[in-house]
């Protein structure tokens, strides 16, 4: 599926039934992802089959596949469950806040999720880096995050853009720079086994680029 190929329609607010179903589905998805991650980190990603993950979770293989098409997708759900919402969180930041500060703050939920279980998170992130198929998938996901962040930046700037309009080059550069700051900080935190302060690492990375100015 090409980015921007999906058209969204608004049909009004979700009903309580729709909301409860979405919550229940998200809970099951999170549980399956956590179990899959535990199997992969303890036994090795290539050594565990989808059938074995399903058995460990007490569900059928077909049920597991209704939530995740691949093992890679399950790992990424466990690692970055809040990643897809970063653009929405950017749009929720105060209009008076400068873009760079708003970009830093839109990662707060992702950081909070990492810190709920640092040991499991760092083990999962090491798994992601060690398996090319997962790291490749994660890069694809982060590219979509960057595009969505760039579009959000354009909307914050007052650009009258609707999907699938291309973001401005300025917004794309800032969005990718912000994601790079997040990545280098998380990599350093992972290498420390979660011992370093993740929030401080990310603040330092953002501060390093905030001080850059173009040459006259």
- Average pLDDT value for residue range 157-169: 72
Q: Could you tell me if 98 and 163 lie in one domain?
A: yes
In a domain, 98, yes or no: yes
Q: Could you tell me if 141 and 208 lie in one domain?
A: yes
If one compares 26 and 128, the residue with the highest pLDDT of the two is: 128
What is the number of structural domains in the chain?
2
Query: What band does 163 get if pLDDT is binned at 50, 70 and 90?
Result: low
- Residues of the chain above pLDDT 90, percent: 62
In a domain, 202, yes or no: yes
- Average pLDDT value for residue range 63-82: 88
Q: Could you tell me if 39 and 113 lie in one domain?
A: no
Q: Could you tell me if 105 and 188 lie in one domain?
A: yes
Distance (Å, whole) CA 100 – CA 97: 8
pLDDT digits (tens, 9 = 90+) for 106-151: 999 889 989 988 988 898 899 999 999 999 998 888 898 999 999 9
Last residue of one domain, picked from the residues 45, 71, 97: 71
pTM, 2 dp: 0.77
Domain containing residue 85: 80-216
Residue 92 confidence (pLDDT): 93
Q: Is the pLDDT of residue 200 over 90?
A: yes
């Amino acid at each position: 599926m090409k980015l921007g190929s999906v058209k969204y329609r608004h049909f009004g607010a979700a009903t309580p039934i729709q909301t409860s179903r979405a919550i229940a589905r998200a809970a099951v998805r999170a549980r399956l992802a956590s179990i899959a991650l535990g199997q992969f980190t303890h036994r090795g990603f290539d050594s565990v089959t989808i059938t074995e993950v399903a058995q460990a979770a007490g569900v059928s293989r077909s049920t597991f596949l209704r939530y995740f098409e691949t093992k890679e997708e399950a790992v990424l759900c466990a690692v970055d469950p809040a990643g897809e919402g970063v653009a929405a969180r950017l749009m929720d930041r105060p209009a008076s806040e400068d873009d760079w500060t708003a970009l830093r703050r839109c990662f707060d939920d992702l950081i909070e999720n990492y810190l709920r279980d640092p040991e499991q998170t760092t083990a999962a992130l090491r798994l992601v880096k060690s398996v090319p198929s997962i790291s490749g998938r994660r890069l694809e996901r982060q590219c979509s995050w960057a595009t969505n962040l760039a579009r959000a930046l354009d909307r914050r700037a007052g650009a009258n853009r609707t999907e699938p309009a291309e973001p401005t080059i300025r917004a794309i550069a800032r969005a990718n720079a912000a994601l790079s700051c997040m990545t280098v900080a998380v990599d350093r935190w992972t290498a420390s086994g979660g011992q370093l302060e993740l929030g401080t690492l990310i603040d330092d990375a953002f501060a390093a680029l905030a001080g850059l100015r173009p040459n006259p």
